[in-house]
Every structure is written in C-alpha cells, then in structure tokens.
Amino acid sequence: MGQLEGKVALITGAARGQGRSHALALAREGADIIAVDLCAQAPTVPYPMATPEDLARTVREVEELGRRIIPSQADVRDLAALSAAADAGAAELGRLDIVLANAGISSPAPTLDMDEATWDEMIDINLTGVWKTVKAAVPHIIRGGRGGSVVITSSAAAMITLESLAHYSAAKAGLVGLMRVLAKELAPLSIRVNTVHPSIVATEMVLNEATYRRFRPDLAHPTRADFEAAARRLTRLPIPALEASDVSHAILYLVSEAGRYVTGSTQMIDAGGRL
Ligand SMILES: NC(=O)c1ccc[n+]([C@@H]2O[C@H](COP(=O)([O-])OP(=O)(O)OC[C@H]3O[C@@H](n4cnc5c(N)ncnc54)[C@H](O)[C@@H]3O)[C@@H](O)[C@H]2O)c1
C-alpha cells in the first residue's frame, strides 16, 4: 500500500523536469494526478520550454504506473483556465488532496539592463501564477473536508543572492510570504502549506546553452562539464547539481503522513550551498 493511496494531486509544470518527477513520485505512492502545463514558449525565456509531447510523456509514464492522470494545457497566468483544469480534474478523479505549485521560468538579466517585459513575465508566472494556482485548486481540498497539503516550489534564490536573478529572487522570496499567510489561514482546516527551496537542479531550465554561457562567459562554446565545474562553487557537498528526484523526495515527506504536523516551513534542499 502506497503512502498516498486514494489521494489526488494537482501539479503545475508537470510536462517535464521537476514537475514530471513529482507526478511519478506521487503516482508510485498511489496518487492520481491532475497535470497542468503551458506547453508553449514564454517570450522572455531564453531556453526551449516544454511541449505537448513532453506532457504526453508524463501522461504515459503515470499511466504505466497504473494511476489515472488528467492533463491540461493551461497557463498559470490564466485563472479561468486553471479553474477549468482543477474543476475537470477533481470531478473526474473524485477529490483533491494535494497541490504542487511548481511551474516556473528563468530569464537571467542584470537588474538595471532587464527590460520591462522580462520583469513582468517573471512576476506574472513565478509569483502571481502560484497565487492563481492555489486560488483555483485549494477550494477543492476544502470542499473534501479531509485536510490536505500544498507545496510551493520556491528556490534557494529566495534565501541567497545571485547576480542577474533580481526578478527571480523577488518572486521566489514573495512565495515565502504567500506560503506563510496561507499556512496560517488554512491550518484550522488541517491544510498544510510549505515551500521547497532547491539550489541548481539538473533540468532543462539550467541544462541549456544560455545557462552554460552565464556560468562560463570566458568560453566561446561552454559545455555541460564547464558549467558543472563552475556550479560546484555553489554547493558544499561535492556535487554540481541536484536531481529532480531529490526535490520529489522532500515533497513526498511534506505531503504524506510523515509530515502531518509540518506547516509554514521553508525546506532548503541546497547541498549546503547557503553555508
Ligand atoms: N532547475 C533549477 O535549477 C531550479 C532551482 C530552484 C528552483 N527551481 C524551480 O523549480 C520549478 C520547476 O522547474 P524545473 O527545474 O523543472 O524547470 P523546467 O523548465 O524543466 O520545468 C518548468 C515547467 O513549468 C512549465 N511552465 C512554465 N511557465 C508556465 C506557465 N505560465 N503555465 C504553466 N506551466 C508553465 C514549463 O512548461 C515546464 O514544463 C520552477 O518553479 C523553478 O523556478 C528550479
């Protein structure tokens, strides 16, 4: 019997990367999944974003585990689309217990050089998009009357500073404020709310040419190995980056019975990088 047998989880950014890893981790523990992703390019993002084929792969892999999954192509900036996805998923799967607000973008630029569209799109997706996700989905947890769990994917960048990430850090730090207030408001209903704060995770958000160049501006054609050598400076444990599954393990703890009295917390997963 899995730890999440009979539960249903809504996950944003579920087409690939950490979101897909979380979907599979929760499905392995018995949860059915409502999978939301934009599956399109955001104009200010300098790396290829997820595609409909990526979301189809998440669907296939969850189904191969014997779990049900309801996919939706929806933008976390679009409250009506998120509500439609949450409503349809909860109706089909019968309930909602867990919300993972994981969708996000990265678009590094020096603070004073950054254009307005880059700032605005970051705040719209990485901060306001999380509020819209909880606004659309959490009422279904409340309606169930059984309590539940919300995990918001923030970042180590909410706690430590990196050049060219002012908009990203501002959004991710803002999520901590959102999480704390929500945790207080929802505690009487036995709904827990926490944030996770990963440092660099080996997903397509960072495994791309634009990131390699940012870490190694001295090289004409930096490779993944060049990037990893530079990224080692950001951790204390001897690794260049986390795997998506490392974040999934932390989330599994937070959403399962093991974390039943954990709420309002900020879980760092940073290989000691902040030390
Ligand atoms: N990769 C890292 O180093 C790292 C570190 C700390 C935190 N994070 C955070 O982890 C989360 C997941 O990122 P990842 O590493 O899996 O990267 P990723 O790019 O592989 O996945 C992000 C997913 O979010 C989706 N998405 C983006 N904008 C969306 C929108 N407007 N509406 C719906 N879906 C949207 C993308 O299509 C993609 O599938 C993000 O919030 C990111 O900021 C990443």
- Give the whole-angstrom CA distance, residue 107 versus residue 126: 11
Provide the CA 115 distance to its chain's centre, in angstroms. 25
Q: Is 212 a catalytic residue?
A: no
Task: Transcribe 154-217 into DSSP letters.
Answer: --GGGTS--TT-HHHHHHHHHHHHHHHHHHHHHGGGTEEEEEEEES-BSSTTTSSHHHHHHH-T
Q: What is the mean pLDDT of the chain?
A: 98
Pocket of ligand 1 contains residue 90 by CB under 6 Å: no
pLDDT of residue 66: 98
In sequence order, what are the beta bridge partners of 11? 35, 100
pLDDT tops 90 at residue 1: no
Catalytic residue, from 47, 168, 212, 261: name it. Answer: 168
Task: Transcribe 237-252 into DSSP letters.
Answer: SS-S-B-HHHHHHHHH
How, if at all, do strands 148-153 and 191-198 pair?
A: parallel
Residue 244: φ, ψ to 5°: -55, -35
pLDDT digits (tens, 9 = 90+) for 72-93: 999 999 999 999 999 999 999 9
The preferred substitution site among 201, 211, 239 for testing ligand 1, maximizing ligand atoms within 8 Å of CB, is 201
Residue nearest to atom 25 of ligand 1 (CA): 13
pLDDT digits (tens, 9 = 90+) for 131-174: 999 999 999 999 999 999 999 999 999 999 999 999 999 999 99
Average pLDDT over residues 225-234: 94
* pTM for this model (two decimals): 0.98
pLDDT tops 90 at residue 52: yes
- Give the whole-angstrom CA distance, residue 185 versus residue 201: 31
Residue 93 is inside which H or E element, if any? helix 79-93
Angle (deg, nearest 10), helices 79-93 and 129-144:
30
pLDDT of residue 245: 98
